[in-house]
């Protein structure tokens, strides 16, 4: 349990670190959140003040002589008021001769049942009074019924019971101050609502902006991390799993920042603000509210780990489904040719059922958790209302306080329900974040610590005692040694598995040797900047990969080339003619997996791409395997120009294509067993001659 909490805390900390570039926007979001919360919490206070001080405007009447007795008493422990409290009331009240008028809330601040006690003991008048300021509009009423009023300067007092007996027009004149406040309070209330609306919008917009930015940063970081990994890592990691993490898991992070984080901050601010206001209004009711929250807090802690485990299973099984779909859809032709659809449907059904079980498990937890939280919230609100109503009957609290409490309690427990609702998103984000950061922490990059920048490349290559194996204990290259002079064309031949393609991968540092070193112009490849090395040495592989986009974009592949440069490269590769015959020419979109192009056409585009990039050293890895004989002859014409003054390494099974190479090396068991020109190797009557005669015989049979 402790490890799970620690792991979630670590994930949360790493997620929040992505907010650092957007500190200003985060600050604006928090300011908007606080202003919206403050305005929202002020609404019940405005209602309370309006009710107690204006709608239900009443004053308590105390005898000044009694208060002075309390003030001068030396045994105040047995009296309801201490001398200090009596002195404070004398200072706060309005004096009308021998009478002092105070609002009931002032006595409530001293003691909950003090007003009731004072009435029972006789030092507080049993009747409530209404105070107002005399004006020309009320002068006629005061003169017609002077017995109803007490006067002190321009202030007047009238019994609330007598006020209620007067005609409505008269009451309206006497309560003009209250009516004026009601108009102001209405405008204030509308202004607060507008403030809540404006700053809530600002908060939601800013939070969404931050969430989208963070999500973009995460996606960019994940893609950059994946692109920098070695082929060994990428080969054993399913593509569907990587896509699921970059797409689905990152989306849960967006929900975390746009909904969960801001909601939790707002809920926390509301709950703290509500508790503060509740204690300011009535500490006893505030304590009841806090006690009612304890069961909800226990439930949140209890369900937390179960929710996290449930969401982790869901994310893992979503990834498994995506991986399976990606693999099967990519290999659909093979499935159909071998009639393996039924078996694939069964396997997919099993993975779908696993995902369904995980989703249902998550729903079962939430189906129990959320109703219990709602039940606790509703019960607590009902209990507090009942308790507050009892206090109201004993005149311990005012109606305004009671209504404000009901309003504030609803605002208090709404965040609890909101936390329950958002908790599933939080746990999903934590599970997604774990998977994302687990991927980021898995690093098998080819080291890029080159300190010798490439300025000019002549093309001298040298392998010195190079050892390499894909699987430990199963060596592919065993102390390979050879040199290739600059500007020469060297062909490498050998049986399948002899290490031909491995040499090409080592030259471009898709892999690094386990022992030995490879030199380019006398410099170890590991000392050269990786990006410069791969610009200088570029391969044309047998299995050409074309990206979504136009043919022109695939030829340029990131270079800022104009149309003329792209067409010149295509002409040299003998691809211009077939590209022009396409419906949109160079603007023809490449379909997924380049299914709208033949294997030979894809190969010609790959040659145009390598010509456009103009590397100093070219590797042709079975590059003519997918073109027909006629196309190959055209391609050879372009290659003569391309390979001029460049070092070229040609890996080929079709020996007829390498007769003109300056040097042919024959690999066997990870080492060079023969080397020389075509004529020299034929004269040796060794491995090369046997390979050539076998292939020549096959070609004769085929023709």
Query: Nearest-CA neighbor of 612 among 649, 575, 577?
Result: 575
Of 148-157, 655-664, 669-678, the one with minimum mean pLDDT is 655-664
Instruction: Give the 3-state secondary structure percentages of the chain, helix then strand then coil, rounded to 5.
Output: 65, 15, 20
Q: What is the reported pLDDT for 628?
A: 65
Confidence of residue 700 (pLDDT cuts 50, 70, 90): very low
Q: What is the reported pLDDT for 519?
A: 92
Q: What is the reported pLDDT for 342?
A: 82
Q: 38: buried, middle or exposed (CB in 10 Å: 19+, 13-18, 0-12)?
A: middle
Residues facing 549 on adjacent strands:
590
**Which structural domains are found in the chain, ordered by start?**
2-17+230-441 (1.20.1560.10), 461-702 (3.40.50.300)
Contacts of 443 (CB under 8 A, 6+ apart): 225, 229
Residues facing 538 on adjacent strands:
618
- Cα–Cα dist 603/634, whole Å: 13
Query: Nearest-CA neighbor of 631 among 668, 596, 674, 600?
Result: 600
pLDDT in tens, 437-476: 887 777 777 777 777 787 788 888 999 999 998 888 888 8
pLDDT in tens, 35-79: 998 898 888 888 888 877 777 778 888 888 888 877 777 665 667
> Residue 376 pLDDT more than 60?
yes
- Cα–Cα dist 548/559, whole Å: 16
State pTM to two decimals: 0.64
Residues facing 102 on adjacent strands:
60
């Amino acid at each position: 349990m402790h490890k799970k909490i620690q792991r979630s805390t670590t994930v949360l900390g790493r997620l929040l670190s992505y907010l650092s570039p957007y500190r200003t926007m985060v600050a604006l979001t928090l300011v908007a959140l606080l202003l919206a919360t403050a305005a929202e919490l002020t609404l019940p206070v405005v209602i309370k003040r309006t009710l107690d001080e204006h709608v239900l405007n009443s004053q308590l009447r105390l005898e000044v002589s009694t208060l002075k007795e309390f003030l001068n008493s030396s045994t105040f422990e047995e009296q309801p008021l201490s001398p200090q409290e009596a002195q404070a009331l004398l200072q706060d009240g309005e004096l009308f001769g021998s009478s002092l008028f105070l609002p009931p809330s002032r006595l409530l601040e001293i003691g909950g049942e003090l007003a009731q006690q004072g009435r029972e003991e006789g030092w507080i008048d049993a009747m409530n009074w209404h105070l107002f300021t005399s004006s020309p509009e009320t002068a006629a009423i005061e003169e017609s019924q002077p017995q109803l009023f007490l006067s002190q300067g321009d202030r007047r007092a009238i019994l609330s019971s007598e006020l209620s007996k007067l005609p409505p027009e008269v009451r309206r004149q006497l309560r003009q101050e209250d009516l004026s406040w009601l108009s102001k309070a209405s405008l204030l209330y509308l202004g607060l609502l507008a403030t809540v609306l404006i700053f809530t919008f600002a908060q939601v917009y800013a939070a969404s902006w931050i969430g989208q930015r963070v999500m973009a940063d995460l996606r960019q970081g994940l893609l950059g991390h994946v692109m920098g990994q070695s082929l060994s890592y990428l080969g054993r990691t399913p593509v569907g799993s990587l896509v699921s993490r970059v797409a689905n898991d990152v989306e849960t992070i967006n929900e975390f920042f746009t909904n969960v984080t801001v909601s939790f901050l707002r809920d926390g601010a509301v709950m703290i603000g509500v508790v503060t206001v509740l204690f300011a209004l009535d500490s006893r009711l505030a304590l009841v509210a806090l006690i009612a929250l304890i069961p909800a807090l226990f439930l949140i802690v209890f369900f937390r780990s179960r929710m996290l485990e449930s969401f982790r299973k869901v994310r893992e099984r979503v990834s498994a489904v995506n991986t399976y779909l990606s693999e099967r859809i990519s290999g659909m032709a093979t499935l159909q040719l071998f009639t393996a659809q039924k078996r694939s449907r069964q396997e997919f059904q099993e993975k779908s059922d696993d995902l369904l079980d995980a989703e249902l498990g998550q729903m079962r937890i939430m189906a129990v958790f959320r109703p219990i939280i709602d039940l606790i919230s509703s019960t607590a609100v009902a209990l507090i209302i009942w308790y507050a109503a009892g206090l109201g009957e004993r005149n311990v609290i005012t109606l305004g306080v009671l209504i404000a409490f009901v309003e504030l309690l609803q605002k208090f427990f709404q965040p609890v329900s909101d936390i329950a609702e958002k908790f599933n998103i939080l746990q999903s984000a934590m599970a997604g974040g774990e998977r994302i950061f687990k991927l980021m922490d898995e690093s098998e990059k080819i080291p890029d610590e080159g300190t010798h920048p490439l300025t000019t490349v002549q093309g001298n290559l040298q392998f010195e005692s190079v050892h390499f194996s894909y699987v430990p204990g199963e060596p592919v290259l065993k102390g390979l040694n050879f040199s290739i002079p600059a500007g020469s064309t060297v062909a490498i031949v050998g049986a399948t598995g002899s290490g031909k393609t491995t040499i090409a991968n080592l030259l471009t540092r898709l892999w690094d040797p386990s022992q030995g070193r490879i030199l380019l112009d006398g410099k170890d490849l590991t000392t050269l900047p990786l990006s410069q090395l791969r610009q200088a040495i570029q391969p044309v592989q047998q299995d050409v990969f074309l990206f979504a986009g136009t043919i022109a974009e695939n030829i340029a592949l990131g270079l800022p080339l104009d149309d003329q440069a792209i067409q010149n490269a295509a002409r040299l590769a003998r691809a211009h003619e077939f590209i022009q015959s396409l419906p949109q020419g160079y603007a023809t979109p490449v379909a997924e997996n380049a299914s709208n192009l033949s294997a030979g056409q894809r190969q010609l585009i790959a040659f145009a791409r390598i010509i456009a990039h103009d590397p100093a050293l070219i590797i042709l890895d079975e590059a003519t395997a997918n073109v027909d004989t006629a196309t190959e002859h055209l391609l050879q014409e372009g290659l003569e120009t391309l390979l001029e003054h460049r070092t070229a390494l040609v890996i080929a099974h079709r020996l007829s294509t390498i007769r003109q190479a300056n040097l042919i090396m024959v690999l066997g068991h990870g080492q060079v067993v023969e080397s020389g020109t075509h004529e020299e190797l034929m004269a040796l009557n060794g491995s090369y001659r046997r390979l050539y005669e076998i292939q020549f015989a096959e070609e004769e049979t085929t023709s």
